[in-house]
Amino acid sequence: MTTTSPFSRRGFLGATAATGLGFVFAGAGSLDAFVRPAAAAVRSATGYGELVPDPRGILALPPGFSYNLIARSGQTPTLDGVHPSDPDGMGVFAGADGGSVLVTNHENGGEEPFKVPVVEGITYDPGAIGGTSTIVVDKAGNRVQQYTSLAGTQDNCAGGVTPWGTWLTCEETEERAGQSGNTKDHGYVFEVDPTSREANIGKSPVPLKFMGRYSHEAVAVDPKRSAIYLTEDASKPNGLYFRWVPPKGFVSGKDALRELALSTGGDTAGKLQAMSCSREDGSRVHDLSEATAVNTRYKVEWVNVPDRSAKTVSVRKQFTNDQITRARKLEGQWWGDGGVFFVSSFARVVDGSVNEHDGQVWFYDPDTETITLKTIFGVNPDVDADNGNFDGPDNITVSTYGGLILAEDGDGVSHLVGVTEDGNPYPLARNEYNDSEFCGPAFSADGKTLFVNIQSPGFTLAITGPWDNSSP
């Protein structure tokens, strides 16, 4: 998500900043949990090689890589109009004949020029202009079809895929009916079926109110327990990390969440809980920015949310600071290695954080009820220089070929950043069009194509190349 701030993110982190790269790592093996067992290659410190300038002026990539521009906001025609503004988080699903189906969020909140069209049967609030587009592409990454799969929502930022093959899209807002032209309250999670337009009629516009009404970012689903983890991007005070625990007897699967939402008492079904962390000595961790060293580990407890609908008070304001643990800019998530990787994009003292950084990646282990700091970025000393300094990780994904891919949403030059299994960062792609953020990176089912968005002017792209090349 793009935010405005009264201060520059340039700064100095002191002892927590690593020289040169702006990263702090535990050393070799610090990202072991990111590695897939079937990883085909181990990236070197330079990744796939130096990025090659793009004659089209859109995307610089390593040698041997190329991209296809699938859609551009305001220009690419769809079944309902044109590709809407601000494509953001994205779910990728297997399609027919080796192709893929992309469900793309649009972070539209009122000012964007290309609205998500109001379509009968899939519109929650005709006064809102956000939602999701579904894009069908062939094996080569060429667009075959595009249609609106959810309309009438607001600021659809991130979300997450489910084990049963759907996309949970999240509204990053707390606005109520009467604000920004809205006719209904917003700040909910919705479920979108990637299989067809028809599969969403009367279904995708159902808000899953039991997951709370607040400034949602991303979700991750535990396939074993059916618990759903949720990040909140908010400030004054900083946001919370949540867990939704399903009610007894709940059986997950397609349509199960919607049916639960529509059932008697569905608005408060299950438990919505906020994370509270403590150190080994039992002392409370008030903000995740207190951690400055990789492998810092905290014990996790969960505190029930008093009023998840936020009728009079925002959810995050219903707790005292000694009850829960906050974090600035809680953003992307990804389920993997039996737990959840989640991101805090940056922290500044003026925002109420204890220490400053330009990004943390945490791992929550539900078996041990702990979180562990896997990666921390020192404050980027020169955001305008393309010299290996990275900042502001947002959406994240695990590479099919080992390591992690981070979408930069910071200041200055914007990258897709790869992180190797042994903790080395490298630029995987560079935005040469402008400094807009990358959003929603996700691989196709066969691992041959990486799909990604550049939020402005609204590019949706397919990247292919020698992903399994171990000697770039």
Fold of 22-464: Neuraminidase (2.120.10)
The answer to whether the CB of 425 falls within 8 A of the CB of 419 is: yes
pLDDT at 83 over 60: yes
Q: How confident is the model at residue 385 (pLDDT cuts 50, 70, 90)?
A: confident
Task: Copy the structure tokens of residue 26.
Answer: 């535990």
Question: Which tens digits make up the pLDDT trace of 245-272?
Answer: 999 999 999 999 999 999 999 999 999 9
**DSSP one-letter code for 61:** B
When mean pLDDT is compared across 294-298, 306-310, 342-346, 420-424, the lowest value belongs to 420-424
CA nearest to 409, candidates 157, 195, 223: 157
Instruction: Provide the b/e sequence for 364-380 (b: ≥16 CB within 10 Å).
Output: bbbeeeebbbbbbbbbb
Task: Give pLDDT, residue 437.
Answer: 97
Question: Span 18-33, mean pLDDT?
Answer: 32
Task: Give pLDDT, residue 38.
Answer: 31
Question: Can you name the residues that pair with 192 across neighbouring β-strands?
Answer: 167
Task: Copy the structure tokens of residue 254.
Answer: 């397609």
Give the length of the chain: 472
Task: Map out the domains of the chain as residue ranges.
Answer: 22-464
Return the percentage of the chain with pLDDT > 70, whole number. Answer: 89
Question: Span 348-366, mean pLDDT?
Answer: 94
Q: Which long-range contacts (CB under 8 A, 24 or more apart) does 106-109 make?
A: 106/130, 106/131, 106/132, 106/133, 106/156, 107/1, 107/2, 107/155, 107/156, 107/157, 107/172, 107/455, 108/84, 108/154, 108/155, 108/156, 109/154, 109/155, 109/173, 109/180
Peptide bond into 425 cis (omega under 30): no
Question: Span 189-205, mean pLDDT?
Answer: 98
Question: Can you name the residues that pair with 153 across neighbouring β-strands?
Answer: 130
Task: Copy the structure tokens of residue 305.
Answer: 């949310």
Rounded CA separation 397/399 (Å): 6
**Which residue matches tokens 């959003």?**
439
- Compute how many other C-beta atoms are within 10 angstroms of the C-beta atom of residue 202: 10
